[in-house]
Amino acid sequence: GEDVEQSLFLSVREGDSSVINCTYTDSSSTYLYWYKQEPGAGLQLLTYIFSNMDMKQDQRLTVLLNKKDKHLSLRIADTQTGDSAIYFCAENYGGSQGNLIFGKGTKLSVKP
Amino acid sequence: EPEVTQTPSHQVTQMGQEVILRCVPISNHLYFYWYRQILGQKVEFLVSFYNNEISEKSEIFDDQFSVERPDGSNFTLKIRSTKLEDSAMYFCASGSRGRGYTFGSGTRLTVV
């Protein structure tokens, strides 16, 4: 079945860049998403990218999409302690308003 | 910024009891969803709802589950006879075509 894979943990120092990687399997996905979940909280949409784009930048966030390799990454520049959270990659299965398939999430720890 | 509101934030229920989880989606959104996240596991799709009917559901969404949009603002998930394995965080989400989905902060359901 369709799947989204992410590494489970990432640890960086404050001020460094963080890169969270994700691979997905559904080639018909039209959108790919990054969500952030802080402890005990809901899922906050950080950014999304349309599948015909290869890059999207939004302030400190840069999303890179390699559609051929079905690889998505999220780069957070100048990582802060407030960025510590779990980051979920998701694809919309079947395109358009299809349901979202989530990865297991990458726990980002930012050390001062 | 518009929000998806879920109530209650935490519900404890006895096995076999019925529960109703409530959501108020963003007012101009047309697509509505329920997802769940069992502790330590992936966020999983349950059901999508569009134009007053279920448009898609997963294998998890069996006859014990139902959804309803009883008026113009609420969107509910009912679990008829709860089981221990229904304990999870339940997220409501809403979306409009071509945009990211906005999630609520979730209802933590504990079945005892």
Quote the minimal CA–CA distance from B14 to chain A in Å.
Answer: 23
Q: How confident is the model at residue B100 (pLDDT cuts 50, 70, 90)?
A: confident
- Binned at pLDDT 50, 70 and 90, residue B98 comes out as low
A55 and A65 in contact (C-beta within 8 Å)? yes
Q: Taking CB atoms and an 8 Å limit, are A45 and B103 in contact across chains?
A: yes
All residues at 6 or more sequence positions from A85 whose CB lies less than 8 Å from its CB, including other chains: A36, A37, A38, A39, A107, A108
What pLDDT does residue A1 have?
Answer: 64
What tokens appear for B95 in the block? 């979306």
Contact of B33 with chain A, judged by CB distance below 8 Å, is answered with yes
Tell whether B105 lies on the interface with A, counting CB pairs under 8 A: yes
pLDDT band at B58; cut points 50, 70, 90:
very high
Cα→Cα distances B26→A27, B63, B70, Å: 29, 27, 15
For testing contact with chain B, the best of A6, A34, A97 (most B CBs within 10 A): A97
pLDDT, position A69: 93
Say what the pLDDT of residue B99 is.
67
Predicted pLDDT of residue B5: 94
DSSP reduced 3-state for A32: strand
Cβ contact (<8 Å) for B42 and A96?
Answer: no
Rounded to the nearest angstrom, the minimum Cα separation between B87 and chain A is 15
Contact state of A97 with B31 under an 8 Å Cβ cutoff? yes
pLDDT digits (tens, 9 = 90+) for A81-104: 999 999 999 988 766 566 889 999
Substitution target from B43, B47, B108 for chain A, most A beta carbons within 10 A = B43
Q: Is B14 on the interface with A (CB under 8 A)?
A: no
Residue A108 near residue A20, CB atoms below 8 Å: yes
| B95–A42 C-beta distance less than 8 A | no
CA distance A23 to chain B (A): 15
Residue that has been written with the tokens 């990211």 in this structure: B100
| The pLDDT of residue A20 is above 70 | yes
Angle of CA points B58, B34, B18, to nearest 5° = 95
pLDDT class of B12 with cuts at 50, 70, 90:
very high
* CB–CB contact B56 A101 (8 Å): no
Strand pairing report for B31-37 and B19-24? unpaired
> Got the DSSP string for B64-75?
TEEEE--SSS-E
Chain B residues in contact with A100 by the CB 8 A cut-off are 33, 35, 43, 45, 101
C-alpha R_g of chain B = 13
C-alpha triplet B2, B4, B7: angle, nearest 5°: 140
Instruction: Decide if A99 and B91 are in contact by the 8 Å CB cutoff.
Output: no
Query: Contact A43/B31, CB-based, under 8 Å?
Result: no
DSSP A83: G
